[in-house]
């Protein structure tokens, strides 16, 4: 009996071999596409479905690619020939909400924004806030260790997960972590799984750490600067002054102009970079006034509003970055992080690389935590070698400044060639050994993160 026959025999109509499903599973939003179609897509509805799929895969040594909404930007969930796609989007229930304990138990397929809309009814929320929150799943957020606009103040996924239910490559179900606020029993396998990009197991449930909805006003600030370096220096000055806004986003001149064009807004002055900042909580008005003073002292033209609708409109400009880049051509959306004080130097490096390679690299940044998203625009479906060469220069520049290859998108397929440069040979080998402990047969998401693990 073939692998496909075994899947159909045990799982029935949740096994999908339609051309549309197989073609969709080849790609994510990175623009990268696998060389061919997978065997089948299994639309898991229950933990039992996941365990059955993994048992069949383990018995037949068939690779499995775990997939959520496919919104990733590093090729981590792209499936190819001879592989089973295990889709978790149908596992989208909220199993439990405990406002008294500030926790929720959810399945991996629920969308980030959907979860928070439901939690708000009970006066709580889950803090990780990726730009893709309307379309990305909680399971995908966990797999990549996602961040977002609010993470400088409220933390990333790793700060907001108490426990995980994990199906191993052989089908065994494990319950990692705890429901209590504190818990240090044994090794922290929950944190190890977060950001592991599907290499260690299949997340089928998550116990999330919630926050109460923030009381008080929300203020929004926009500040314009004559150069992106000045804007980056101003954002670092805000942090150095001991101020911690909920959101601090930076758009360079090219990205700002592209978004204004997409939204039919008046064109900004040439060379203008912009900071968009949001404060919240009881001290929001006072914090905003102090931030405006820092920005003006740094040479910015700053304005403040406490009108919620206007604040959301201003943040909407930043959230329109991805469609604005897509309107310019095929986009390789990159993701490096540096210490906040090194952001001006990183923008200098981007300008140097633009000049050296004769290309434009529109860049936005989560300036509150030093996470930059340079965008490489090109024609065609495949990233040209010259663009990869420029990206490699950019990655190494971030490492020289004390930074990292990725702040939230992950390594996936697209950055695996540079991983050992950041980790060093000993740590790289140790991490590959850990992958083999969880998945001795190497059937979970092979070729991703560690290309030869």
Residues 292 and 241 in one domain: yes
65, 87, 109 — which closes off a domain? 87
- Same-domain check for residues 45 and 184: no
Using CA atoms, how far residue 68 sits from 27, 89, 349, 427, in Å, is 12, 5, 35, 29
Residues 178 and 265 in one domain: no
pLDDT at 451 over 80: no
Q: Under a CB-based contact definition with an 8 Å cutoff, are residues 350 and 361 in contact?
A: yes
| Structural domain total, the chain | 4
pLDDT reported for residue 338: 97
Find the domain containing 426 and state its range.
416-453
| Each residue's pLDDT tens digit, 242-254 | 999 999 999 999 9
Question: Is 111 in the same domain as 222?
Answer: no
Of 452 and 270, which is predicted with more confidence?
270
How many helices and strands (H and E) does the chain possess?
Answer: 16, 19
Is pLDDT larger for residue 82 or for residue 326?
A: 82
CATH number of the domain within which 143 lies? 3.30.465.10
With 0-12 / 13-18 / 19 or more C-beta atoms within 10 angstroms meaning exposed / middle / buried, residue 274 is buried
Is 410 a member of any domain?
no
Q: Which of 212, 234, 260 is the last residue of a domain?
A: 212
Distance CA 115, CA 161 (A): 14
Considering the domain architecture, whether residues 234 and 349 belong to the same structural domain is answered as yes
- What CATH number does the domain containing 38 carry? 3.30.43.10
Tell me whether residue 407 is in a domain: no
Q: Residue 406 domain-assigned?
A: no
- Answer yes or no: is 240 within a domain: yes
Domain presence at residue 411 = no
334 shares a domain with 239: yes
Of 166, 186, 212, which residue constitutes the final position of a domain? 212
Cβ atoms of 294 and 234 within 8 Å: the answer is yes
Q: Is residue 152 part of a domain?
A: yes
Residue 135 lies in a domain: yes
Are 286 and 365 in the same domain? yes
Based on the domain organization, do 370 and 240 belong to the same domain? Answer: yes
CB atoms within 10 A of CB 184: 7
Q: How many CB atoms lie within 10 A of CB 341?
A: 16
Give yes or no: residues 101 and 148 share one domain.
Answer: yes
Name the maximum alpha-carbon separation found in the chain. 73
pLDDT band at 452 (very low <50, low <70, confident <90, very high): low
Model confidence at 382, in pLDDT bands (50, 70, 90)?
Answer: confident
Antiparallel, parallel or unpaired: β 273-280 and 218-225:
antiparallel
Question: Does a structural domain hold residue 190?
Answer: yes
Say whether pLDDT at 282 is over 70: yes
Give the model confidence (pLDDT) of 70-85 as tens digits: 999 899 999 999 999 9
Q: Are residues 263 and 363 in the same domain?
A: yes
Same domain, 195 and 104: yes
Whether residues 224 and 364 share a domain: the answer is yes
pLDDT of residue 1: 85
Reply yes or no on whether the pLDDT at 224 is more than 50: yes
């Amino acid at each position: 009996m073939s692998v496909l026959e075994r899947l159909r025999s045990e799982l029935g109509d949740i096994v999908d071999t339609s051309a549309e499903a197989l073609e969709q599973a080849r790609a994510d939003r990175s623009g990268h596409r696998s060389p061919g179609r997978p065997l089948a897509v299994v639309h898991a509805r229950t933990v039992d479905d996941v365990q059955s799929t993994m048992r069949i895969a383990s018995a037949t040594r068939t690779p499995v690619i775990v997939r959520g909404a496919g919104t990733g930007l590093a090729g981590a969930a792209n499936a190819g020939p001879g592989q089973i796609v295990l889709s978790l989007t149908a596992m989208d229930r909220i199993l439990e909400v405990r406002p008294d304990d500030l926790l929720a138990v959810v399945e991996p397929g629920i969308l980030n924004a959907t979860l928070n809309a439901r939690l708000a009814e009970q006066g709580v929320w889950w803090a990780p806030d990726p730009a893709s929150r309307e379309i990305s799943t909680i399971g995908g957020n966990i797999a990549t260790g996602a961040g977002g606009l609010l993470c400088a103040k409220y933390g990333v996924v790793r700060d907001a997960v108490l426990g995980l239910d994990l199906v191993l490559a052989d089908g065994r179900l494990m319950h990692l972590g705890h429901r209590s606020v504190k818990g240090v029993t044994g090794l922290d396998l929950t944190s190890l799984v977060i950001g592991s990009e599907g290499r260690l197991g299949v997340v089928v449930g998550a116990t999330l750490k919630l926050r109460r909805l923030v009381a008080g006003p929300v203020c929004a600030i926009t500040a314009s600067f004559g150069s992106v370096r000045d804007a980056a220096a101003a954002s670092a000055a805000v942090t150095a002054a001991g101020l911690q806004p909920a959101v601090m986003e930076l758009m360079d001149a090219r990205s700002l102009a592209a978004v204004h064009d997409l939204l039919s807004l008046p064109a900004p002055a040439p060379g203008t970079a912009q900071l968009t900042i949001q404060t919240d909580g009881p001290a929001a008005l006072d914090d905003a006034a102090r931030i405006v003073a820092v920005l003006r002292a740094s040479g910015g033209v700053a304005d403040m509003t406490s009108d919620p609708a206007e604040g959301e409109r201003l943040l909407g400009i930043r959230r329109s970055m991805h469609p604005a880049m897509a309107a310019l051509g095929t986009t390789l959306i990159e993701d490096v992080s540096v210490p906040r004080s090194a952001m001006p130097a990183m923008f200098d490096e981007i300008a140097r690389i633009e000049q050296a390679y004769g290309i434009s690299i529109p860049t936005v940044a989560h300036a509150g935590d030093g996470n930059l998203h340079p965008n490489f625009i090109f024609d065609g479906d495949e990233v040209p070698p010259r663009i990869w060469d420029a990206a490699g220069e950019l990655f190494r520049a971030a490492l020289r400044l004390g930074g990292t290859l990725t702040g939230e998108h992950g390594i996936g397929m697209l950055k695996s060639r540079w991983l050992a440069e950041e980790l060093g040979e000993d740590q790289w080998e140790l991490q590959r050994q850990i992958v083999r402990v969880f998945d001795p047969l190497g059937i979970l998401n092979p070729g991703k993160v560690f290309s030869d693990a």
